[in-house]
Structure 1
Amino acid sequence: MDGHAAAPGPGDVGYALARDTFVNKAESRVWGELLELGTRLHFGRNDMLIVAGTPSDHVLLIEHGLVKVLLPGEGRDLVVGFYGPGELMGEQGVLFSEARSATVVAHTPGTATRVPGRLFRRYVERNPAVLGALYGILRERLRKADQRQQSLVGQDVPTRVARQLLAWSETLGTRTADGVTISGLSRKDLAQCIGAGETTVDAVLKDLTSLGLVRTHWRKYVLPSPRRLLDHITNQVK
């Protein structure tokens, strides 16, 4: 389809350090072929892209921007995670003909390609090797969900803050002269992801800043050395 990029690449916000995105697992050829099957849409911050409980009639290929995945909860939705360029969203419901289990909301303005479910299923049937990439994505997301549950139960807030920042640095970070920069995420977003209060998270960030392990800006974090931050929390739990 005219105007589509073959795949996100270095320089796209949030892509430079990503290791487990769909485009990495399935290769750029698959990404490009799926883009040809869909139509591009532009979204603004807080646009609802997928709604829990609705029919699974399409998948989304995120090209630019960040989206937020929410699970319905009692009283408030639970933030599962943030995803950026190169990610495939909504595939599970489409493949298993199930209603949406989560809501996907645009966290920043961006673009995505919407591929109808029937065309996506047909493509997978013709290209069974893609199932390996889809399985890898599902396994990785389940692993992260298990880790998140374990951290909420067994880790203190400073450890959860540090580990979340390290996770973002790997999946959403870009390497700069100052270290690894994570853009587009606020302290509230961080607090929601780790199940802690904003005041508590703010105090932890101040401590990490005083140690030279993190620098904070408006909706941006800079990790001068992710290794030093990892060493710090590893030593703290010994």
Structure 2
Amino acid sequence: MNAVCWPPASLLGRLRRQDAEALLGLGRPVSYPAQLRAIRQGDVAEHSLLLLQGAVKIVVDTERGRDVVIAVRGPGDLLGEMSTLEHRPRSAHVLTCSPVQARIIHSIELAKFLARNAEVCLAVARMLSERLRSADRRGIDFVVCPAPIRVARVLLDVVQRHGSYTASGWETGIPLSQTEIASMAGTGLSTVEKAFRRLESAGVLTRRYRRVLIIDLPGLRRFGELPGEIP
């Protein structure tokens, strides 16, 4: 596999072919079944995961005992690198949404690799910057946007980062329940259900088990009050 195969927004998708192949040469292969906790919040960070196949969700345990889904990740993404590079406990769980193939890279090995590969180090920095920008945008959306708009923006974000186009429309690419979408949008399940019904009635999307098919992507952008690409 080379850089051309990877989603453009992923770490591997940002790299030149030779840099991607060098990163893929680190660590050792590992497989996880669906619904497994691959990384546990609070654990000492001794390794990172380079995701090759499958999808995961990033989940945080809150002080009130509620699990919150804050992001999803797919092929080509690097997981757990922040705690690894900062030598701090894990800040979130990584739960597999589907069977996963990855490479497990020891902290020291990753740090040494980044120290001698400026282009990869810069790509990691840009990736982290975009994640922080996305988190900032979600925080602003929570203050200024009604819940149905936040639901649409979550769907747009997932489709643009992980989706694939088919003859029937855009597949989200990652299996997410409505409860998980509600968590990412910072709203309740009933609000997601109402938003989905409105979007279905407008011919914007159709639902499948743990998947959403976007039939009218410009219509979804309009619903989310984003006429163009998410900045």
Q: TM-score, normalised by structure 2?
A: 0.90
1:41 matched to which residue of 2? 30
Are 1:79 and 1:192, in contact at CA under 8 Å, matched by a contact in 2? yes
Task: Give the counterpart letter for 1:215 in structure 2.
Answer: T
Is 1:55 the equivalent of 2:83? no
2:139 matched to which residue of 1? 149
1:223 matched to which residue of 2? 214
Is 1:206 the equivalent of 2:205? no
Cα distance change of structure 1 residues 235 and 164 upon mapping to structure 2, 3 Å threshold: closer
1:201 and 1:110 map into 2 onto residues whose CA distance is 28
Task: Give the counterpart letter for 2:141 in structure 1.
Answer: S
2:224 equivalent among 203, 214, 233: 233
Shift of 1:152: 1.8
Cα distance change of structure 1 residues 78 and 24 upon mapping to structure 2, 3 Å threshold: same
1:125 matched to which residue of 2? 115
Shift of 1:166: 0.8
Kindly report which structure 2 residues correspond to 1:8-23, keeping only aligned pairs within 5 A, or say none. 9=5, 18-23=7-12
2:79 matched to which residue of 1? 89
1:230 and 1:89 map into 2 onto residues whose CA distance is 29
**Cα deviation code 1:18-74 (max 9, x no counterpart):** 432101223332232222221111111221111122121111110111111122312
2:48 and 2:226 map into 1 onto residues whose CA distance is 42
1:227 and 1:235 map into 2 onto residues whose CA distance is 9
Cα distance change of structure 1 residues 52 and 235 upon mapping to structure 2, 3 Å threshold: closer
Task: Give the counterpart letter for 1:89 in structure 2.
Answer: L
RMSD, aligned α-carbons: 1.9
Structure 1 ranges of 4+ moved more than 4 A: none
Comparing 145-154 with 170-179, greater Cα deviation is found at 145-154
Task: Give the counterpart letter for 1:90 in structure 2.
Answer: G
Length, aligned pairs only: 225
Comparing 162-171 with 44-53, greater Cα deviation is found at 44-53
Shift of 1:86: 0.6
Shift of 1:146: 0.9
Higher relative contact order (CA 8 A, sep 6+): 1
2:57 matched to which residue of 1? 68
Comparing 149-158 with 25-34, greater Cα deviation is found at 25-34
Kindly report which structure 2 residues correspond to 1:166-205, keeping only aligned pairs within 5 A, or say none. 166-183=156-173, 184-205=175-196
1:135 matched to which residue of 2? 125
Cα distance change of structure 1 residues 221 and 119 upon mapping to structure 2, 3 Å threshold: same
1:233 and 1:126 map into 2 onto residues whose CA distance is 43
For structure 1, which runs of at least 5 residues remain unmatched after alignment?
10-14
1:221 alignment partner, SS class? strand
For structure 2, which runs of at least 5 residues remain unmatched after alignment?
none
Are 2:83 and 2:90, in contact at CA under 8 Å, matched by a contact in 1? yes
Shift of 1:221: 0.9
Comparing 151-160 with 59-68, greater Cα deviation is found at 151-160
Are 1:67 and 1:105, in contact at CA under 8 Å, matched by a contact in 2? yes
1:62 alignment partner, SS class? strand
Are 1:8 and 1:85, in contact at CA under 8 Å, matched by a contact in 2? no
Comparing 80-89 with 30-39, greater Cα deviation is found at 30-39
| Percent identical | 30
Task: Give the counterpart letter for 1:29 in structure 2.
Answer: Q
